[in-house]
Amino acid sequence: MLYSVCDIWALYLYIKLNPINFRRQYWGPFFLFIFALLSKSMAISLPIILMLYEWHKRPKLSIIQILKLLSPYLIIVVAIIPVTIYAQGTAIRSTYVLSHRLFIVLQNLVWYLVKFIFPFNLNPFYPKIIISKFLVISIAFFYIILTSLLIIGYRNNKTFFCKKLFPLLLTYLFLIAPVIGIFPMSLS
């Protein structure tokens, strides 16, 4: 809960930064980001979300300018990654092959989306994924429909897709990236 409060407030305060007092107000969201990062490593996704926000809000800024603007956030992220990996020890090592982990990522993206839209049967423990033909077919069907809808959306309104929908989709992906299963966070 501490992570969520600090992360959401950091994002909110960053969005509300006043251009007149930018330098003075900039450090409030930054320190909230540090608190969020110290409470849960999932906060590592906030700088990428801030980059997407800057890309959307101020499209005239180059990627170099955005990186300079967010450099304190990125320095903290680069410093915390080895600490987090060391602290997790053997829990981060996976015995699964890459193809199995990628399927778990695809399944978890669907699972998180479904739980977000239909928040029923919420459980603090993640379900064990047993790969079956039905699961493979249902995941493939979901991604075929999603890809079709994205292609249709792009063809109908390229500006809306590129300026609104694409950054929103990237934000969703980066927000849940630390927990979707690329690296297992437990030994079981």
Question: pLDDT of 59-73, one tens digit each?
Answer: 788 888 888 888 898
Nearest-angstrom CA–CA distance, 92 and 177: 15
**Encoding tokens for residue 6?**
């600090």
Domain endpoint, select from 91, 123, 149? 91
Residue-range definition of the domain harbouring residue 149: 94-179
Whether the Cβ atoms of residue 87 and residue 154 lie closer than 8 Å to each other: no
Q: Report the percentage of the chain scoring pLDDT > 70.
A: 85
Task: Give a yes or no: residue 18 inside a domain.
Answer: yes
Say whether both 85 and 135 belong to one domain.
no
Q: Sign of torsion, CA 104 119 176 60?
A: positive
Say whether both 74 and 154 belong to one domain.
no
Domain endpoint, select from 91, 125, 147? 91
Say whether both 7 and 38 belong to one domain.
yes
**Encoding tokens for residue 113?**
């989306």
Say whether both 166 and 128 belong to one domain.
yes
Residue 186 has pLDDT above 50, yes or no: no
Task: Give a yes or no: residue 186 inside a domain.
Answer: no
Say whether both 67 and 85 belong to one domain.
yes
Neighbours of 168 (CB within 10 A): 12
Task: Give 20-40 as a 3 state SS string.
Answer: CCHHHHCHHHHHHHHHHHHHC
Domains identified in the chain, total number: 2
Say whether both 162 and 121 belong to one domain.
yes
Say whether both 129 and 155 belong to one domain.
yes
**Chain mean position to CA 42:** 8
Say whether both 87 and 98 belong to one domain.
no
Nearest-angstrom CA–CA distance, 188 and 184: 9
Say whether both 27 and 87 belong to one domain.
yes
Structure confidence by residue, pLDDT tens digits, 1-41:
788 888 888 888 888 877 666 677 788 889 989 988 888 87
